[in-house]
Amino acid sequence: MADSEQTTTSPEAMRDAVISMAVESWRFGRVFDRLLTKLDAGEQNRYKSQFRWFIKKVEEALEQAELRIVNVEGHPFDPGMAATPLNIEEFDAKDALMVDQMLEPIIMGKEGLVKTGTVTLRKVEL
């Protein structure tokens, strides 16, 4: 490719690409984690170590871009939370709710929210 044909990528496009890769790696991690439960203990440990290394590298890349993933699984649900609940219509307004599962992570930057997450909720049994 000739120099005149090269395109420059804007910082915003690069940041969007990093965010997209982070979200997809997070999703892949969830699938990989479920897959690990099907392996015997010896294989689990070996692959868990490799997976932890991968996640560490993703977090380091996000940190260089001044971003971080926020996981709110298991936390009480707050309507002001930076996550869209997919099943909110299944509950009454008076129900105490907890984030059951994150389908997409929340991405935060140095100035605040960069990308809202997507969650499913469950009722807290008192």
Do residues 73 and 45 both lie within one domain?
A: no
Tally the domains of the chain: 2
Does a structural domain hold residue 106? yes
The confidence score (pLDDT) of residue 101 equals: 93
Nearest to 15 by CA among 110, 119, 117: 110
Q: What is the mean pLDDT of each run of 10 residues along the chain (126 residues)?
A: 61 88 90 90 88 91 92 93 94 92 93 94 88
Contact at 8 Å (CB) between 99 and 83?
yes
Q: Which domain holds residue 49?
A: 7-65
Does a structural domain hold residue 122? yes
What is d(CA 117, CA 20) in angstroms, rounded to the nearest whole number? Answer: 12
Do residues 13 and 61 both lie within one domain?
A: yes
Does a structural domain hold residue 12? yes
Does a structural domain hold residue 2? no
And the tokens for 74? Answer: 């298991």
Does a structural domain hold residue 77? yes
The confidence score (pLDDT) of residue 126 equals: 73
